[in-house]
Structure 1
Amino acid sequence: MSSELPTPAGTKLPPLTDGPHRKRLGIVAMIATIGGLLFGYDTGVINGALRPMSEELGLTPLTAGVVTSSLLFGAAFGAIFGGKLSDARGRRSTILLLSLAFLAGTIIVVAAPNFGIMVIGRIVLGLAVGGASTVVPVYLAELAPYEIRGSLAGRNEVMIAVGAFAAFAVNALIGNLWGHMDSVWRIMLAICAIPAVGLFVGMLRMPESPRWLVEKGRHDEALAVMKTVRPEDRAIAELGDVEHVAEEEEKQHAIGLKAVFENKWLVRILLIGIGVAVFQQLTGINTIVYYGQTVLIQAGFDANAALIANVVPGLIGVVGSIVSLYLMDRVNRRTMFLTGYGLVTLCHILIGTAALALPDSTAKPYVILTLVVLFVGSMQTFLNVATWVILSEIFPLHMRGLGIGIAVFCMWIANATLGLFFPTLEAAMGLSVFYLLAAFNFVALLFMLKLLPETRGRTLESIEVGVTTGQIYIVNK
């Protein structure tokens, strides 16, 4: 790849060089992705907290499912409102508000005396989780230079995996050491308050997205921010490119959802974004995050052993995410998606087959645990990071927050639906339910093969021009 990339304005960007701006970008990413850590912990902690919580609050299987899925439905609306709010008020300001929502939700669930208050707290946490899942990837993508955008924006998914692993590890430690104590689940939930405070304090010193500032006409502020995360000549050239595209949009009055429905290519990219988001959930990754202990008990482990064994997929998820960061700026996005969905489909077929072929074997729990680990590793290495990166890239600036908000809304609805019905499906089908997941993932493979555009190695502005004119799809033909 050439060190200089032609831009929509017809100029070339100076090469990215080393300097203090690289360290500054790293600090920004580290602070912003605490939102991803909170996302991972809050969605994963229910895995170990639900059983003791159900005993203390008198939850039935139905109300336990409502407690689990209430966060997910809340996240769906948090994704929509978070995207719209970030378009209106800014990425940084929205992340600050989300940190307060994380803290408020944590306080409510920890203090919840009954089912009703618990559901309210979980909905508040869901709003924060959904908002973070929308805004943080966009914030990172808009600050990152195109050469390292994949690995920088992908750090959020690593932190989500770290958060989920932390939840599994905390659950296993607290559950095995102090599981006999009353209200032990409240301790599991309370730990979330620490990173929530860290996110709020850290974001107070972080910059606003320069691309959002340009869209709002605050060009001097945008240039000042850009100079802190780029060499000066690159900052000036890149900002000029952003301004050029913003001016073209303004001439066309291309603002918001109305502009989407007036352009068939924008409708197409919105549908592709929704497909990318929904199929990520239909991999079944969150059946392991929420019900991993239940799946492993079904495989043959006892309850405490399943709680400990559940840490292994969480650890592999972190390792896979780190490997994915290395791959994101070296391997095409389409290659990542096609490889990932192929491997996940195969893993699901093998899990279902192992459950049928080894009904009474002492090896069954360990074979299924191994296959679950392979599934999680494949998912995290090839799909999870890539999904969030491509969602942060494909939407034009004027609809970026809204576009990713709609896509992630649909993602969370799919997540919540699968989370709500998976226990019933598993009770009826056993681990043969993984054959159903395999079918979903084969359809996803065909979808990505036919429709997914390639975005690696292009600036957000060149992607935007390609998307709005339909040129980006020619690459796939």
Structure 2
Amino acid sequence: MPRENYLTPNKASGPNSSTRTEPFVKVIAMIATLGGLLFGYDTGVISGALLFMGNDLHLTPFTTGLVTSSLLFGAAFGALASGHFAAAAGRRKIILVLAVIFAIGAIGTALAPDVEWMIFFRLVLGVAVGGASATVPVYIAEMAPANKRGQLVTMQELMIVSGQMLAYISNAGFNAVWGGDATWRWMLAVATVPAVLLWFGMLFMPDSPRWYAMKGRLAEARQVLERTRAKQDVEWELTEIEETLAEEQHETRPRLRELRQPWLFKLFLIGVGIAVIQQLTGVNTIMYYAPTMLKAVGMSDNAALIATIANGVISVLMTFVGIWLLGRIGRRTMTMLGQFGCTACLVFIGAVSYFMPETVNGQPDVLRSYMVLLGMLMFLSFQQGALSPVTWLLLSEIFPTRLRGIFMGGAVFAMWIANFLISLMFPILLASVGLSGAFFIFALVGIGGAIFVVRYVPETRNRSLEQIEHYLHDWLSNEEPQPQLTHAVKKSS
């Protein structure tokens, strides 16, 4: 591919096409992101279910932690496995299998007779959650036209936070309608419905044109492009896909051993870094333990429950803002905005909980608890409005087509392991250094994350996936400037 095509993306018709998005692309995105809805529901529902399953399953503090974090451990290996099989089986088939696993996990957890079976089926659910987190963004990125890729991939994040919000609302709703110790079984069983819808929906969806082309099935790749692209963009994109794959046809089957190539090793480490810094902000300590933290700073049970719903609502609203921003500012700029904003909010929460008095006239300081809540809501505004959406988008864009599935699986594996460790250790951290100490530690880690973002996160906006691959190859092979200089490169080209 000529060098000017990926250094000056304004010359490419696809990434800057002004044509409207074909309706079929939106249908594909809506169906595929049911995996994200399940992802969010299954990670969020446990916060309410734990309040009721304790007596039935005879939970101890240790087994409570295992029930919560076992899904995250399973998710790490689900991401790794789905990434490994995605190139061979195709993105669509992987999502179909994941839908079945989601349904089995939901039914299994709802019927679990004891804590051992609950942990086992939470691990099963985790495999599906991790697989969806690694596969759905890649599938949508490869199906979407370049000029709409940002908004469509970010639908995954919108569905994740919508699933979490629905979990918080359904928890409260089931308890209000039925109450009692058996309520938790209905909370968990509801996830079967979107799993069935995902499976039926994906039966009628094609695989991505890039996967068809990678398998030599060019006629099918063209058919998909004709259904998902404007007429004037079909030939351009198919030619670009063929050229990129032709350069790689001498390569063997994609394997992690290809990390021996220096530029691929650097790219994989950047992908892992992008995935992990999203978790190191401590976002899921807020999503999983918000009621615990708010009770620790003086809120009543009912107020803490309502505040948890507020976290879900603000996450959904700010994800809409994130989708809007992705169409207007660069990925790199958005990552910096999210990382810097989250870190500042962590300092704010730590400072409030450290400097404000715990009690006033012998009663818990209500102002202190609501200031901590304000800090959480500001944090989620930056996390869900900037950092989380752009994280999934960057991960779906930066890896080469032939290695995208396996590299995405490895990066998301690292993300889930980080999530698992943070979620498992946070109660211990809270007990040992208190709320302020925990958030100051997260803030220090956030500063390190900010340095990483400034130095290593590239700009991928207004480039096709093939142009991104060429650009990153040259940059990481030290043939091109670092990401912060790309605008100057484009102007001088």
What TM-score comes out, normalization by structure 2 length? Answer: 0.92
- Name 2:133's counterpart in structure 1: 133
Question: 1:265 Cα shift?
Answer: 1.1
Letter in 2 for 1:74: G
Letter in 1 for 2:442: L
Equivalent residues in 2 for 1:207-356, closer than 5 Å: 207-251=206-250, 253=252, 255-261=254-260, 263-356=261-354
- Name 1:206's counterpart in structure 2: 205
Question: 1:287 Cα shift?
Answer: 0.7
Question: 1:472 Cα shift?
Answer: 6.2
Question: 1:178 Cα shift?
Answer: 3.4
Query: What CA distance in whole angstroms lies between the structure 2 residues aligned with 1:104 and 1:472?
Result: 49
Instruction: Give the conservation status (yes or no) of the 8 Å contact 1:298–1:430.
Output: no
SS in structure 1 at match of 2:204 = coil
- Name 2:489's counterpart in structure 1: none
Query: What CA distance in whole angstroms lies between the structure 2 residues aligned with 1:190 and 1:253?
Result: 44
List gaps (5 residues or longer) in structure 1: none
Letter in 2 for 1:420: L
- Name 2:155's counterpart in structure 1: 155
Report the identity percentage. 43
SS in structure 2 at match of 1:161 = helix
Equivalent residues in 2 for 1:396-475, closer than 5 Å: 396-432=400-436, 433-470=438-475, 474-475=482-483
Query: What CA distance in whole angstroms lies between the structure 1 residues aligned with 2:481 and 2:238?
Result: 26
1:257-304 per-position Cα deviation (integer Å, ceiling 9, x unaligned): 23332x211111100110111111111111122111111111211222
Q: Residue 344 and residue 472 in structure 1: after superposition, are their counterparts in 2 closer, same or farther (change >3 A)?
A: farther
Q: Residue 244 and residue 372 in structure 1: after superposition, are their counterparts in 2 closer, same or farther (change >3 A)?
A: same
1:124-148 per-position Cα deviation (integer Å, ceiling 9, x unaligned): 1000000000000000001111111
Q: Residue 207 and residue 472 in structure 1: after superposition, are their counterparts in 2 closer, same or farther (change >3 A)?
A: farther
SS in structure 1 at match of 2:13 = coil
Letter in 1 for 2:414: C
Question: 1:365 Cα shift?
Answer: 1.6
Query: What CA distance in whole angstroms lies between the structure 2 residues aligned with 1:46 and 1:209?
Result: 34
Query: What CA distance in whole angstroms lies between the structure 1 residues aligned with 2:139 and 2:289?
Result: 31
Instruction: Give the conservation status (yes or no) of the 8 Å contact 1:40–1:164.
Output: yes
Query: What CA distance in whole angstroms lies between the structure 2 residues aligned with 1:362 and 1:457?
Result: 48
- Name 2:490's counterpart in structure 1: none
> Is 1:375 aligned to residue 383 of structure 2?
no
Letter in 1 for 2:192: A
- Name 1:72's counterpart in structure 2: 72
Instruction: Give the conservation status (yes or no) of the 8 Å contact 1:31–1:203.
Output: yes
Letter in 1 for 2:313: L
Question: 1:364 Cα shift?
Answer: 1.4
Query: What CA distance in whole angstroms lies between the structure 2 residues aligned with 1:473 and 1:88?
Result: 35
Equivalent residues in 2 for 1:176-191, closer than 5 Å: 176-179=176-179, 181-191=180-190
Query: What CA distance in whole angstroms lies between the structure 2 residues aligned with 1:221 and 1:260?
Result: 31
Query: What CA distance in whole angstroms lies between the structure 2 residues aligned with 1:345 and 1:71?
Result: 27
Letter in 1 for 2:70: S
SS in structure 2 at match of 1:313 = helix
- Name 1:6's counterpart in structure 2: 5
Q: Post-superposition, which runs of at least 4 consecutive aligned residues in structure 1 deviate over 6 A?
A: none
Letter in 2 for 1:460: L
Letter in 1 for 2:103: L
Question: 1:357 Cα shift?
Answer: 2.1
Letter in 2 for 1:236: E
Q: Residue 473 and residue 166 in structure 1: after superposition, are their counterparts in 2 closer, same or farther (change >3 A)?
A: farther
Letter in 2 for 1:141: A
Question: 1:168 Cα shift?
Answer: 1.1
Q: Residue 374 and residue 12 in structure 1: after superposition, are their counterparts in 2 closer, same or farther (change >3 A)?
A: closer
Instruction: Give the conservation status (yes or no) of the 8 Å contact 1:157–1:388.
Output: yes
> Is 1:93 aligned to residue 93 of structure 2?
yes
Instruction: Give the conservation status (yes or no) of the 8 Å contact 1:82–1:94.
Output: yes
Query: What CA distance in whole angstroms lies between the structure 1 residues aligned with 2:346 and 2:6?
Result: 43
Instruction: Give the conservation status (yes or no) of the 8 Å contact 2:169–2:309.
Output: yes
Letter in 2 for 1:235: V
Question: 1:187 Cα shift?
Answer: 1.0
- Name 2:491's counterpart in structure 1: none
Question: 1:334 Cα shift?
Answer: 1.2
Figure out how many residues of one structure are paired with residues of the other and give that number: 470
Letter in 2 for 1:134: A
Query: What CA distance in whole angstroms lies between the structure 2 residues aligned with 1:35 and 1:254?
Result: 28
Q: Residue 12 and residue 441 in structure 1: after superposition, are their counterparts in 2 closer, same or farther (change >3 A)?
A: closer
Query: What CA distance in whole angstroms lies between the structure 1 residues aligned with 2:481 and 2:44?
Result: 37
Question: 1:6 Cα shift?
Answer: 3.1
- Name 1:196's counterpart in structure 2: 195
The more displaced of 296-305 and 418-427 is 296-305
Question: 1:378 Cα shift?
Answer: 1.0
Letter in 2 for 1:173: G
Query: What CA distance in whole angstroms lies between the structure 1 residues aligned with 2:221 and 2:314?
Result: 39
List gaps (5 residues or longer) in structure 2: 360-364, 486-493
Query: What CA distance in whole angstroms lies between the structure 1 residues aligned with 2:469 and 2:480?
Result: 9
Instruction: Give the conservation status (yes or no) of the 8 Å contact 1:33–1:136.
Output: yes
Query: What CA distance in whole angstroms lies between the structure 2 residues aligned with 1:472 and 1:264?
Result: 15
Query: What CA distance in whole angstroms lies between the structure 2 residues aligned with 1:81 and 1:110?
Result: 25
Which of the numbers 396, 403, 406 marks the counterpart of 1:392? Answer: 396
Query: What CA distance in whole angstroms lies between the structure 2 residues aligned with 1:238 and 1:169?
Result: 43
Query: What CA distance in whole angstroms lies between the structure 1 residues aligned with 2:6 and 2:442?
Result: 42
Q: Residue 230 and residue 309 in structure 1: after superposition, are their counterparts in 2 closer, same or farther (change >3 A)?
A: same
Question: 1:475 Cα shift?
Answer: 3.5
Query: What CA distance in whole angstroms lies between the structure 2 residues aligned with 1:474 and 1:275?
Result: 16
Query: What CA distance in whole angstroms lies between the structure 2 residues aligned with 1:349 and 1:264?
Result: 37
- Name 2:484's counterpart in structure 1: 476
1:293-328 per-position Cα deviation (integer Å, ceiling 9, x unaligned): 111111211222211211001100001111100111
1:196-230 per-position Cα deviation (integer Å, ceiling 9, x unaligned): 01101111111111101111111100000110000
Alignment root-mean-square deviation, CA: 1.8
Q: Residue 161 and residue 141 in structure 1: after superposition, are their counterparts in 2 closer, same or farther (change >3 A)?
A: same
